[in-house]
Amino acid sequence: MAPPPQRRMRAIGAHLLAGAAQPPHGRSPAPAFAASGGGVACGILTEATGDHLGGFLNGFATADGVGSVSVADITEGAQFDAVRKAIPPERLGGFYTQPGVMLAERAPALTLVTAEAHRSAPLVRAALESGSHVLLEKPGCANLAEFEQLCDLADEKGLTLMLAMATRANPAVVKAKELIDAGYLGVPYSATMDWIADQTRLTREAHLYPPEQGGDLSWCAPLTPSSEDRHLTHLSAL
């Protein structure tokens, strides 16, 4: 008996996060989630600088329950080759440069949005308006007002808007939680996590807000604790 579509999408969403959390080199496929029956039509809305796309593609390629994967790249197909290399031919859907056309023709039930924060909101809105659940790479918006509007739209349509907290599935983070739960480290009172990585890419023009939006780095989106709380309220359905 096939699991309900909602449960199947939860499994796919968890699998995508596990894939995105893998280190970029020497990545191995995450263990497949058991699913049977018809696959879920999935979509990707992205651009040349879409974060963690390689990891998400790993998830789409290996997760049971995925029927097809279609992509719309707003930077004239800059990511098409990466998608073709990562996704098995039998799962490849269509390739588009216009998100609205992809959403209309392919009608994905689950859509991944990974784009710069100041370009994400229209993509998320289009996916929700089409009736698709959305997995959104963080930061998903340029400001709190944008995000609140998207949450309202998701609530209105009974859809899930899930922020991709991929780091929670990182093997090192998972192991740390196991050690804490086992009492190996005693009672933790605080924790600090430092990432060592080359972040010079974030100084490129593609990662900057337009001048009318402040011109700051797009990964420093001014979201408040209250908006983060609302991000998390949408985690329950995936």
pTM (two decimals): 0.73
User: Domain for residue 219, yes or no?
Assistant: no
The total domain count for the chain is: 1
Please report whether residue 71 resides in a domain: yes
Quick check: is 10 in a domain? yes
The pair phi, psi for residue 46, each rounded to 5°, is -150, -170
Side-chain-facing half-sphere of 112: CA atoms under 13 Å = 37
Q: Is residue 217 assigned to a domain?
A: no
Task: Indicate the DSSP class of residue 77.
Answer: T
Closest CA to 114 of 94, 139, 133: 139
Series of mean pLDDT values for 10-residue runs along the chain (238 residues): 54 62 41 49 96 91 94 96 96 97 97 93 97 93 90 95 84 90 91 72 56 48 40 37
Residue 157 belongs to what domain range? 5-169+225-237
- Kindly state whether residue 49 falls inside one of the protein's structural domains: yes
Q: Which amino acid is at 227?
A: S
> Which three-class secondary structure state does DSSP give residue 18?
helix
Is 190 among the domain residues?
Answer: no
Phi–psi pair at 190, nearest 5 degrees? -165, 165
Predicted local confidence at residue 24, as pLDDT: 41
Report the CATH number at residue 155: 3.40.50.720
Question: What does the pLDDT read at residue 140?
Answer: 87
Q: Is residue 108, in this structure, part of any structural domain at all?
A: yes
Does 117 reside within a domain?
Answer: yes
